[in-house]
Amino acid sequence: MAQNNMLAMILAGGRGSRLHELTNKVAKPAVSYGGKYRIIDFPLSNCANSGIDIVGVLTQYESVLLNSYVAAGGRWGLDTKDSGVFVLTPREKADSGLDVYRGTADAISQNIDFIDAYDPEYLLVLSGDHIYKMNYDKMLTFHKEQNADATIAVRSVPMKEASRFGIMNTDDERRIVEFEEKPAKPKSNLASMGIYIFTWKTMRKLLVEDMKNPDSTHDFGNDIIPKMIDGGKRLFAYEFSGYWKDVGTIDSLWEANMDLLDSDNELNLDDTSWKVYTEDNGIIPQYIAETAKIDNAYINQGAHIGGSVTKSVIFTNVKIAPGAKVIDSVLMPGVIVEEGAVVTRALVAENVRIGKNCIVGNKKSEEILLVAKNVKGED
């Protein structure tokens, strides 16, 4: 174990249905982001940078690509004798025959033996589909200082939006006194980020009890956290003020990519003190032709730009032909935009071809267009 004696478990099994065709064959944490990354790179890189040596990744839906990707722990420096990234899939239950995780708490419960094998003092539970940079060791220091049973990362959101989140109501010392799931009339604006640190001995007992409860939904938010509060356990809110994005919808994924174009972007993927590690495919450098026109764009390796690109994020191996225009858009790996085509305010899925002279998207539309299939152009 690392010096902080904390083991991390990343919940990466969500279906991601709000991302529509992007997650038809790929788990949400494996969706591409930021030119060359996958969403799962961010919590894994945070773990590596925070000194956490053992990470379990709990996968479930469309997990083949995700399993093979995270199993290569060397991308995050987690492949030494005393470290590793471990893929943990659901197990068949003797009482029901199900091979799925029934809830967030059940996902951890099914892997108690894995956690016990490393005998951690603290357990960090994360979501695999958020984009952010965070030092979990600082959160652990806060947890220890409060002598907490559980610490939950929160961020302040506008009060008018608080009803969309799980809200933590606290006293003057940041001790959590009440949890409300998407309240109609929120009492505070401290929204849960789905990032938890638990003192393992305490949490282990609660999970064993929860497994035996037939009325439980086996979920941290619905069952475990309220039970801890009602039982007088010490729960505290750790406020996080940096960049954080839940990319659960097409619009939010597009926004998170476009945020990279802001010169004051808090995420700052160029920060050498907190690197975000990812797969290195050995792709050739980008090529910008004489015919190209670039205005505020994020362009990655292997891209071949012959047309104009304005305020857009261009992923690896994208080809934009001379005379084509890409405006306010996100083009995922392998996209081809042929001569004369115009793409505006769109998120284009991997390997999609936009045909010659096609007009895709609308500058006046507030909604981002997802293009997940080839668009046929002129012959």
* pLDDT score, position 222: 87
* pLDDT score, position 1: 46
**pLDDT tens profile 222-262:** 899 999 999 999 999 999 999 999 888 899 999 999 999 99
Query: Does the pLDDT at position 94 exceed 70?
Result: no
* pLDDT score, position 14: 63
Name the pLDDT band for 379 (thresholds 50, 70, 90): low
Half-sphere exposure of 270 (CA within 13 A, CB side): 7
**pLDDT tens profile 316-371:** 999 999 999 999 999 999 999 999 999 999 999 999 999 999 999 988 888 899 99
Query: Does the pLDDT at position 73 exceed 50?
Result: yes
**pLDDT tens profile 143-160:** 999 999 999 999 999 898
